[in-house]
Amino acid sequence: MEVDYLFQIGDNIVYPMHGVGIIKAIEDKEISGKNQQYYVINMLLGNMQVMIPTDKILSSRIRPVTDILALKHIIHIFQHGESDRLLTWKQRYKVNTDKIKTGNIQEGAEVIRDLMRMKKEKALNTSEKKMLDNAHEFLISELGVIKGITDHQINSFC
Protein backbone atom coordinates (compact mmCIF):
# COMPACT_ATOMS: atom_id res chain seq x y z
CA MET A 1 0.00 0.00 0.00
CA GLU A 2 1.44 3.37 -1.02
CA VAL A 3 0.77 6.39 1.18
CA ASP A 4 0.73 9.98 -0.11
CA TYR A 5 2.67 12.18 2.33
CA LEU A 6 2.59 15.95 2.51
CA PHE A 7 6.41 15.99 2.65
CA GLN A 8 8.97 13.59 1.27
CA ILE A 9 12.33 12.48 2.61
CA GLY A 10 14.90 15.16 1.73
CA ASP A 11 12.42 18.07 1.71
CA ASN A 12 13.49 21.32 3.38
CA ILE A 13 10.83 22.60 5.77
CA VAL A 14 10.30 25.45 8.22
CA TYR A 15 9.08 24.61 11.72
CA PRO A 16 7.77 27.74 13.49
CA MET A 17 9.89 28.78 16.49
CA HIS A 18 12.59 26.26 15.48
CA GLY A 19 13.68 27.29 11.98
CA VAL A 20 14.68 25.24 8.96
CA GLY A 21 14.92 21.46 8.97
CA ILE A 22 15.24 18.54 6.59
CA ILE A 23 12.89 15.56 6.51
CA LYS A 24 15.31 12.68 7.14
CA ALA A 25 12.85 9.80 7.42
CA ILE A 26 9.26 8.71 7.79
CA GLU A 27 9.14 6.00 10.44
CA ASP A 28 6.67 3.82 12.28
CA LYS A 29 7.13 4.21 16.05
CA GLU A 30 5.30 2.88 19.04
CA ILE A 31 5.07 5.57 21.69
CA SER A 32 2.91 5.17 24.80
CA GLY A 33 1.48 1.96 23.36
CA LYS A 34 0.27 3.66 20.20
CA ASN A 35 1.80 2.87 16.79
CA GLN A 36 2.03 5.89 14.48
CA GLN A 37 4.02 7.17 11.56
CA TYR A 38 6.34 10.09 12.23
CA TYR A 39 8.28 12.57 10.19
CA VAL A 40 11.85 12.59 11.51
CA ILE A 41 13.23 16.09 11.02
CA ASN A 42 16.80 17.25 11.53
CA MET A 43 16.72 20.91 12.48
CA LEU A 44 19.58 22.99 11.09
CA LEU A 45 19.69 25.38 14.05
CA GLY A 46 20.57 23.84 17.38
CA ASN A 47 21.49 20.49 15.84
CA MET A 48 18.31 18.86 17.13
CA GLN A 49 16.05 16.14 15.79
CA VAL A 50 12.27 16.26 16.15
CA MET A 51 9.60 13.69 15.40
CA ILE A 52 6.10 14.77 14.47
CA PRO A 53 3.22 12.38 13.79
CA THR A 54 2.30 12.51 10.11
CA ASP A 55 -1.33 13.18 11.02
CA LYS A 56 -0.33 16.24 13.10
CA ILE A 57 1.89 17.88 10.50
CA LEU A 58 -0.76 20.42 9.39
CA SER A 59 -1.60 21.52 12.93
CA SER A 60 2.12 21.93 13.67
CA ARG A 61 2.21 24.69 11.01
CA ILE A 62 5.25 23.17 9.35
CA ARG A 63 5.55 24.49 5.82
CA PRO A 64 7.82 24.11 2.81
CA VAL A 65 10.73 26.53 2.49
CA THR A 66 9.75 29.70 0.63
CA ASP A 67 10.79 29.96 -2.98
CA ILE A 68 12.82 32.74 -4.57
CA LEU A 69 9.70 34.41 -5.99
CA ALA A 70 8.58 35.32 -2.46
CA LEU A 71 11.87 37.09 -1.84
CA LYS A 72 10.72 40.30 -3.60
CA HIS A 73 7.76 40.51 -1.23
CA ILE A 74 10.02 39.98 1.77
CA ILE A 75 12.36 42.73 0.60
CA HIS A 76 9.33 45.01 0.17
CA ILE A 77 8.31 44.28 3.78
CA PHE A 78 11.77 45.30 5.00
CA GLN A 79 11.73 48.55 3.06
CA HIS A 80 8.13 49.57 3.58
CA GLY A 81 5.31 49.12 6.01
CA GLU A 82 4.52 50.85 9.24
CA SER A 83 5.53 49.83 12.72
CA ASP A 84 3.01 50.26 15.52
CA ARG A 85 4.85 52.55 17.92
CA LEU A 86 1.92 52.98 20.31
CA LEU A 87 2.13 49.52 21.86
CA THR A 88 3.81 48.96 25.20
CA TRP A 89 6.77 46.57 25.07
CA LYS A 90 4.66 43.78 26.64
CA GLN A 91 1.92 44.20 24.02
CA ARG A 92 4.51 44.40 21.25
CA TYR A 93 6.26 41.28 22.56
CA LYS A 94 3.00 39.31 22.50
CA VAL A 95 2.10 40.52 18.99
CA ASN A 96 5.57 39.67 17.73
CA THR A 97 5.58 36.24 19.41
CA ASP A 98 2.23 35.46 17.80
CA LYS A 99 3.60 36.48 14.40
CA ILE A 100 6.66 34.25 14.78
CA LYS A 101 4.52 31.31 15.92
CA THR A 102 2.59 31.40 12.64
CA GLY A 103 5.73 30.35 10.80
CA ASN A 104 4.82 32.77 8.02
CA ILE A 105 8.00 34.24 6.55
CA GLN A 106 6.34 37.59 5.84
CA GLU A 107 5.21 37.99 9.44
CA GLY A 108 8.66 37.01 10.67
CA ALA A 109 10.14 39.65 8.37
CA GLU A 110 7.77 42.23 9.87
CA VAL A 111 8.99 41.36 13.37
CA ILE A 112 12.62 41.75 12.31
CA ARG A 113 11.90 45.03 10.50
CA ASP A 114 10.04 46.53 13.46
CA LEU A 115 12.60 45.47 16.07
CA MET A 116 15.49 46.66 13.90
CA ARG A 117 13.81 50.06 13.53
CA MET A 118 13.32 50.27 17.29
CA LYS A 119 16.91 49.22 17.94
CA LYS A 120 18.11 52.20 15.87
CA GLU A 121 16.12 54.55 18.11
CA LYS A 122 16.82 53.00 21.51
CA ALA A 123 18.25 49.87 23.10
CA LEU A 124 15.93 46.87 23.08
CA ASN A 125 15.18 45.10 26.33
CA THR A 126 16.67 41.63 26.80
CA SER A 127 13.53 39.77 25.67
CA GLU A 128 13.14 41.78 22.48
CA LYS A 129 16.85 41.55 21.70
CA LYS A 130 16.67 37.75 21.99
CA MET A 131 13.50 37.72 19.86
CA LEU A 132 15.21 39.80 17.17
CA ASP A 133 18.27 37.54 17.20
CA ASN A 134 16.14 34.38 16.93
CA ALA A 135 13.83 35.74 14.22
CA HIS A 136 16.83 36.96 12.23
CA GLU A 137 18.55 33.58 12.59
CA PHE A 138 15.38 31.77 11.42
CA LEU A 139 15.08 34.04 8.37
CA ILE A 140 18.74 33.74 7.39
CA SER A 141 18.63 29.94 7.79
CA GLU A 142 15.60 29.76 5.50
CA LEU A 143 17.10 32.09 2.93
CA GLY A 144 20.22 29.91 2.93
CA VAL A 145 18.34 26.87 1.60
CA ILE A 146 16.21 28.64 -1.02
CA LYS A 147 17.27 27.48 -4.46
CA GLY A 148 18.54 30.32 -6.63
CA ILE A 149 19.25 32.87 -3.92
CA THR A 150 22.68 34.47 -3.87
CA ASP A 151 24.91 35.16 -0.88
CA HIS A 152 24.60 38.86 -1.72
CA GLN A 153 20.81 38.67 -1.37
CA ILE A 154 21.12 36.81 1.94
CA ASN A 155 23.64 39.34 3.27
CA SER A 156 21.23 42.19 2.47
CA PHE A 157 19.16 40.95 5.42
CA CYS A 158 22.07 41.17 7.87
Per-position DSSP letters for 59-119, written without gaps between them? TTT-EEPPPGGGHHHHHHHHHS----TTS-HHHHHHHHHHHHHH--HHHHHHHHHHHHHHH
pTM, two decimals, is 0.80
- In the 8-state DSSP scheme, what is residue 150? -
CA-based nearest residue to 135, from 89, 99, 82: 99
Domain boundaries, the chain: 11-64, 68-156
pLDDT at position 2, please?
A: 44
| pLDDT, averaged in runs of 10, over the chain (158 residues) | 73 91 94 91 91 91 86 79 80 94 90 91 93 91 82 70
pLDDT at position 80, please?
A: 80
CATH T-level assignment (fold) for domain 11-64: Thrombin, subunit H (2.40.10)
CATH T-level assignment (fold) for domain 68-156: Methane Monooxygenase Hydroxylase; Chain G, domain 1 (1.20.58)
CA 101 remoteness from chain centre: 8
- Plot region of 16 (φ>0 → left; ψ -120 to 50 → alpha; else → beta): beta
- Plot region of 44 (φ>0 → left; ψ -120 to 50 → alpha; else → beta): alpha
pLDDT at position 64, please?
A: 92
Please give the Cα distance from 158 to 142 (Å, whole number): 13
pLDDT at position 158, please?
A: 57
